[in-house]
Structure 1
Amino acid sequence: MKRAAQVTRRTNETEIAISLNLDGSGKRSIETPVGFLNHMLDLFGKHGLFDMTIQAKGDNDLYRDEHHVVEDIGIVLGQAFAKALGDKQGINRYGFFILPMDESLATVAVDFAGRYTFNLQCDFVRENVGDLSTELVYDFWDAFAQNAKANIYIKVENGRNDHHKIEAIFKAMARACRIACEVDERSKLEFPSTKGVL
């Protein structure tokens, strides 16, 4: 069965459309008004081997503050993961990755448990990297975790360059999500919980 989803969200502030295939080869088409986020989402698709098409636009306020569109993309991407995973039969459920990006080191743990918790530990020095406010890195992944119904923990222990810190986060998230979403051939007919359901 193909594990894929298409999700659209329209509000008075933004319009987001995402197509996702969890069993892809990393084909990406990313178009949002936030250039640095485009770069990070491109890395996420590449390193997760997710086929992703993301189209996003916002109202005129977007060009003064990108908060609405960044958070809404996180919401829709999380919803797409939840929909594509379906009942989660046979998946690993858990994913963990430690990723170096030059002087920065990110550790990520993911659990597609059907419940939501989010924790990010990272000290940013700058207010912005390119056209992305660094505080929105938290808001993006928090929105993703809520809507994917996942427990996500992210920690960046080293680093002096905020670009490298954010890139390490997105790449480590991609790798951890890839592991968590993969089907374990030894238990592909089982649910990854003693409850028998997630």
Structure 2
Amino acid sequence: MSPAPSPRTATVTRTTGETDITVTLNLDDAAYDPPATGHPFFDHMLDALARHSRVGLTVQATGDLHVEAHHLIEDTGITLGQALSQALGDRRGTERYGSAFVPMDETLAHVVVDLSGRAHLAFEPERLDVWGTAGGMTHYHLREFLRGFCNHAGVTLHVRLLAGREAHHVIEAVVKALARALRDAVRVTSEELASTKGVL
């Protein structure tokens, strides 16, 4: 097997009237900087995403948190998705699929990812009785983060909540499951494109 194309990196900046976000992603080097978004719990989740996916991730962001966290969280998902798409290039050689179960006390999350080039999010927690917030972040904020990520990364993502109701544990378990699924999906395991079509 030939070594992975190098570098599989990207830096993307997104600036709007609501947010200013820069994401740097390195799929082959786990060194990362602590995220800085101004939202402590969201920073905690981005930190978990970097640690458990074992990719290099730097997020510097500001947003209109005086209004609400929605814009910052959604736009970070969009920017992260753009960075992942750029870093993957033509996606040749990647494992493409990844799946992970993550428990967190009473909570059990399952995330499956396909680097298909097609954007789709199936987000089961929105149909369930998840209560509370985590530092002002809800599972609906998580949904918008993942929606922005999927749409701009070109990935299919299925998020299932098998057990759990409390927002903190639900959000954290889903993020960690996403990270571990991505860790498998982005690995380079061949020289071929994992598609019978010959294109993603």
Question: TM-score normalised to the size of structure 2?
Answer: 0.92
Contact 1:34–1:132, Cα closer than 8 Å, also in 2? no
Shift of residue 124, structure 1, vs aligned partner: 4.7
**Counterpart AA for 2:179:** A
Question: Residue by residue, what CA displacement relative to the aligned partner does 1:128-150 show, whole Å, maximum 9, x if unpaired?
Answer: 21121331111000110111100
Counterpart AA for 1:83? Q
Matched, 1:195 2:197: yes
Q: Which residue of 2 aligns with 1:116?
A: 119
Residue matched to 1:68: 71
Q: CA RMSD in A?
A: 1.2
Mapped contact 1:35–1:131 kept (Cα < 8 A): no
- 3-state SS of 2:118 partner: coil
Deviation at 1:167, TM superposition (A): 0.7
Percent identity for Structure 1 against Structure 2: 43
Tell me whether 1:43 sits opposite 2:43 in the alignment: no
In structure 1, runs of 5+ residues without a counterpart are none
How many residues are treated as equivalent by the alignment? 193
Greater share of residues in strand: 1
2:32 to 27, 34, 53: 27
Shift of 1:37: 0.7
Q: What is the Cα deviation at residue 11 of structure 1?
A: 0.7
Give the SS at the match of 1:132: coil
Q: What letter is aligned with 1:197?
A: V
Q: TM-score, normalised by structure 1?
A: 0.93
1:1-198 to structure 2, matched below 5 A, reads 1-59=6-64, 62-122=65-125, 123-184=128-189, 187=190, 189-198=191-200
Task: Output the amino acid matched with 1:142.
Answer: R
TM superposition shift of 1:99: 1.1
